[in-house]
């Protein structure tokens, strides 16, 4: 059993026991709470029968104090139970990732699919059975979006960027307890109403501190206190107090009309803000050794200001924001003390001091949230390795496997280096050509985000990845799969002509046309791509295309083969040098029941 598996199992079993113990304690506390209420009613009734009203007041207060402490203890135990449930889920998912059982994870990132993107659909970056589904453990909306952005590889990266990210991921993979605390802070404070963008817009907006509203509020609070005092002294009737409260309500509505949107925003996201506060405190308190993580931490650590303290202030202010529409207690407090005015005034002061820094603070949180997800690979898979990033356009490695197939994958050695620019992959149907193209592509995609790859060793230059593996008809755009393929090839050629360092993966190109045109088109395309500096892999059934190797030493042939046992076709999925010498289409047709006479 791997170290990761041992760790996950240990924490999982420990928290299953903790949860069971907490359930028992919560049941006992619930019974005690019920007993306290029953005893209070019995004692108060007996004291009432004895006409001892002073004792009734003392008894009621005593029982209520005991009840409140019991309720707080119950609340703390519920929080502990929630933490144990989160840890059970986190560590069970870790075990599932190790066992390649990640396909049941609900979050597939399918909304990030983009059929016009140069590689994400062909390489299963998002969607069911995807790299996103495998590694994602983000707990913030921004972190999830950042992970999707990194996986999409839209921004160009340098060798230095990748190496810095590798170093950061190595360090985070070793901080598994810290990463799980990060996840707990996020999940404990998650709600369905959050909108990070609205918070950022608020933070970057103009601060609207309104002193006049505060003065008016103080005046009405004074009137409220005096009115209640005079009513208790029987100087004024209670109907007058009710009238005062009605006027308070109207005045409060007028004073908060311009900030009602902000009140709703903070009421909706107060839990998230508390989570962000806890996460940023975790980051600020942690000691990092890698250069990139230090750079990120320095963005939230200033000599003159503490991000964790300021975020705690924001969290405390947001916690006081209530919804008068649904909370009767808050409605009364708001009428009596104009709390909305003072809370929002406090939030505006916070905005004035810190609003411009909020986006950068949250960007740091989002970046580390995404890096935590990527580091899952490094911790879970000890047999994966960090790629060596080259200064030239080459790809080669040993025991390269498909990351999404995992332990069942057949690993292959492969090299496209030196003068070699195009590898032609031939082989019969179902022999493994498309899967191998995806294996190389997925490991390249992982390499560029600083992650380990599924290979004994893997070496690659930094190139723009383009694929044409799965094309489909589009009724909406009135195009056939063949024309869709042509459009993708056009984008690839244009990228090469613009001088991009291109790595391409083309699967059975021009399969939608006749054999003569397919051969001619493929030959011209390959020569054109080489001419403009592109390198890559091309799978094909056109064995005549393999003759290009004899004409041009920049082209190299590889193949997959099949064999037969008891009239059944079988594959070993092993990549070999040279062109394919076998074909299985006729045999497959015979297996389907087609008789050849």
- pLDDT tens digits, 472-497: 544 444 456 777 788 889 999 999 99
The span from the CA of 388 to the CA of 396, in Å, is 10
pLDDT at 193 over 60: no
- CA-to-CA separations, 550 to 546, 553, 554, 556, in angstroms, rounded: 8, 7, 10, 9
Res 231: pLDDT: 85
- What is residue 453's DSSP assignment? B
Of residues 17 and 194, more confidently modeled: 17
Taking every pair of Cα atoms in the chain, the longest distance, rounded to a whole number of angstroms, is: 114
Res 186: pLDDT: 93
To 10 degrees, what angle do helices 339-380 and 307-320 make?
130
pLDDT band at 590 (very low <50, low <70, confident <90, very high): low
Mean pLDDT for the stretch of residues 583-592:
60
Close Cβ partners of 199 (under 8 Å, ≥ 6 residues apart)? 265, 269, 273, 358
pLDDT, tens digit (0-9, with 9 covering 90-100), for 58-114: 898 999 999 999 999 999 999 999 999 999 999 999 999 999 999 999 999 999 999
Q: How far apart are the first and last CA of the chain?
A: 56
Res 192: pLDDT: 62
pLDDT at 18 over 90: yes
388: β partners: 459
Mean pLDDT for the stretch of residues 451-469:
96
pLDDT at 595 over 70: no
Res 593: pLDDT: 60
Q: What are phi and psi of 388, to 5 degrees?
A: -95, 120
pLDDT at 279 over 50: yes
Mean pLDDT for the stretch of residues 534-550:
93
Mean predicted lDDT score pLDDT of the chain: 90
The span from the CA of 125 to the CA of 109, in Å, is 9
Res 267: pLDDT: 85
Res 582: pLDDT: 67
Q: What is the helix (H) or strand (E) element at residue 361, kind and residue range?
A: helix 339-380
Q: What are phi and psi of 395, to 5 degrees?
A: -140, 125
Res 122: pLDDT: 94
Mean pLDDT for the stretch of residues 443-454:
97
pLDDT at 326 over 70: no
Q: What is the helix (H) or strand (E) element at residue 252, kind and residue range?
A: helix 238-256
How do beta strands 535-540 and 422-427 pair? parallel
pLDDT, tens digit (0-9, with 9 covering 90-100), for 356-381: 999 999 999 999 999 999 999 999 99
Domain boundaries, the chain: 1-99, 185-380, 388-591
Which token pair is 359? 């986006």
pLDDT, tens digit (0-9, with 9 covering 90-100), for 121-140: 999 999 999 999 999 999 99
Close Cβ partners of 462 (under 8 Å, ≥ 6 residues apart)? 157, 158, 159, 162, 389, 448, 501
Res 592: pLDDT: 58
Res 236: pLDDT: 85
355 neighbors 207 (Cβ within 8 angstroms):
yes
Mean pLDDT for the stretch of residues 330-341:
84
Of residues 203 and 1, more confidently modeled: 203
CATH architecture of 388-591: 3-Layer(aba) Sandwich (3.40)
């Amino acid at each position: 059993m791997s170290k990761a598996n041992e760790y996950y199992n240990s924490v999982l079993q420990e928290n299953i026991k903790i949860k069971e113990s907490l359930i028992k304690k919560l049941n006992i506390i619930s019974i005690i709470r019920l007993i306290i209420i029953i005893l209070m009613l019995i004692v108060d009734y007996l004291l009432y029968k004895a006409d001892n009203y002073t004792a009734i007041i003392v008894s009621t207060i005593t029982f209520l104090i005991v009840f409140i402490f019991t309720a707080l203890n119950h609340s703390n135990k519920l929080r502990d139970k929630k933490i144990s449930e989160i840890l059970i889920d986190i560590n069970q998912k870790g075990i599932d990732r190790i066992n390649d059982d990640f396909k049941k994870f609900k979050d597939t990132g399918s909304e990030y699919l983009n059929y016009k993107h140069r590689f994400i659909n062909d390489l299963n970056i998002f969607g069911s059975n995807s790299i996103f589904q495998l590694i994602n453990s983000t707990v913030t909306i921004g972190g999830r979006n950042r992970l999707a952005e990194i996986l999409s590889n839209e921004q160009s990266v340098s060798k230095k960027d990748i190496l810095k990210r590798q170093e950061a991921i190595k360090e985070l993979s070793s901080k598994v307890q810290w990463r799980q605390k990060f996840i707990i802070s996020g999940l404990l404070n998650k709600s369905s109403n959050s909108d990070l963008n609205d918070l950022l817009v608020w933070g970057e907006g103009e601060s609207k501190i309104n002193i006049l509203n505060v003065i008016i509020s103080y005046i009405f609070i004074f009137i409220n206190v005096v009115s209640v005092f005079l009513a208790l002294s029987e100087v004024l009737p209670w109907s007058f107090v009710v009238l005062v409260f009605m006027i308070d309500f109207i005045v409060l509505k007028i004073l908060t009309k311009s900030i009602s949107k902000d009140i709703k925003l903070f009421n909706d996201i107060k839990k998230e803000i508390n989570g962000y506060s806890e996460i940023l405190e975790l980051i600020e308190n942690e000691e990092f050794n890698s250069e990139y993580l230090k750079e990120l931490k320095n963005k939230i650590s200033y000599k003159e200001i503490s991000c964790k303290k300021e975020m705690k202030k924001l969290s405390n202010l947001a916690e006081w924001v209530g919804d008068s529409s649904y909370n009767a207690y808050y409605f009364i407090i708001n009428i009596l003390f104009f709390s909305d005015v003072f809370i929002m005034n406090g939030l505006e002061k916070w905005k004035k001091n810190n609003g411009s820094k909020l986006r950068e603070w949250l960007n740091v949180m989002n970046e580390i949230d995404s890096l935590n997800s990527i580091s899952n690979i490094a911790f879970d898979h000890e047999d994966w390795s960090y790629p060596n990033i080259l200064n030239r356009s080459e790809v080669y490695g040993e025991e390269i496997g498909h990351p999404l197939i995992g332990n069942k994958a057949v690993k292959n050695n492969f090299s496209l280096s030196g003068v070699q620019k195009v590898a032609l992959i031939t082989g019969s149907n179902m022999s493994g050509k498309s899967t191998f193209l995806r294996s190389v592509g997925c490991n390249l995609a992982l390499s560029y985000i600083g992650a380990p790859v599924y290979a004994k060793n893997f070496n690659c230059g930094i190139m723009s990845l383009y694929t044409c593996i799965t094309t489909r008809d589009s009724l909406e755009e009135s195009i056939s799969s063949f024309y869709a393929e042509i459009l993708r090839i056009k984008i690839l050629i244009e990228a090469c002509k613009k001088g991009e360092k291109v790595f391409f993966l083309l699967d059975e190109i021009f399969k939608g046309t006749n054999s003569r045109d397919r051969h001619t088109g493929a030959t011209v395309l390959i020569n054109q791509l080489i001419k403009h500096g592109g390198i890559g892999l091309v799978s094909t059934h056109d064995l005549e295309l393999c003759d290009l190797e004899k004409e041009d030493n920049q082209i190299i042939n590889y193949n997959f083969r099949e064999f037969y046992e008891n009239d059944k076709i079988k594959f070993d999925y092993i990549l070999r040098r040279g062109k394919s010498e076998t074909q299985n289409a006729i045999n497959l047709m015979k297996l389907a029941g087609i008789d050849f006479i």
